[in-house]
Amino acid sequence: MQALRQQEAVPILNDWKQWLEKQRGQVVQKSSIGKAVNYTLNLWSRLAHYTEQETYHIDNNPIENTIRPLAIGRKNYLFAGSHDAAQRAAMFYSFFATCKFHDVNPYNWLKDVLPWISETKLIELHKLTPHNWADNPKH
């Protein structure tokens, strides 16, 4: 994958960067296009970094697809009963989306970690999150 990105994407990115740099000198800096050009060039190293790391994605579509139920659920939070209940519901949506993303069965994860929460130090709670639990279940 990385070799393909180097072969296919890097030349396109190089051409685009040259074009952006040329545009920077030709557009009004405070215009919308000027702001967009400067924004892109200021973040260029982060944008192009995906060509150097195979684990990086060019877009965030997998994450957006994972959190789509959360976004849809926002309207339902209006009927959660209280602000605190809505926050708890959002927290569980987030946990379940993380489970889905890491191929963790949410029922098994909850069943396993709930008894451990009260015994886990605050500084170690991250070990109980779905993506860390998948590598080292407590059961």
Q: How confident is the model over 72-119, as pLDDT tens digits?
A: 776 776 777 888 888 888 788 888 888 888 899 999 999 999 998 899
pLDDT of residue 89: 81
- Assigned token pair, 58: 């060019």
- Among 6, 23, 102, which Cα is nearest to 94's? 102
Task: List, in sequence order, the alpha helices (H) in the chain.
Answer: 2-4, 10-24, 32-42, 44-48, 61-77, 83-101, 106-117, 130-133
Domain map (residue ranges) of the chain: 2-51, 61-133
Structure-token match 């051409």, residue found? 15
Q: How confident is the model over 28-51, as a mean pLDDT?
A: 93
Query: Confidence class of residue 70 from pLDDT cuts 50, 70 and 90?
Result: low
Mapping DSSP to helix (H, G, I), strand (E, B) and coil, where does residue 50 land?
A: helix
Q: How confident is the model over 125-133, as a mean pLDDT?
A: 88
Contacts of 129 (CB under 8 A, 6+ apart): 95, 98
Distance in angstroms (rounded) separating the CA atoms of residues 13 and 8: 9
Distance in angstroms (rounded) separating the CA atoms of residues 87 and 2: 40
Distance in angstroms (rounded) separating the CA atoms of residues 44 and 61: 20
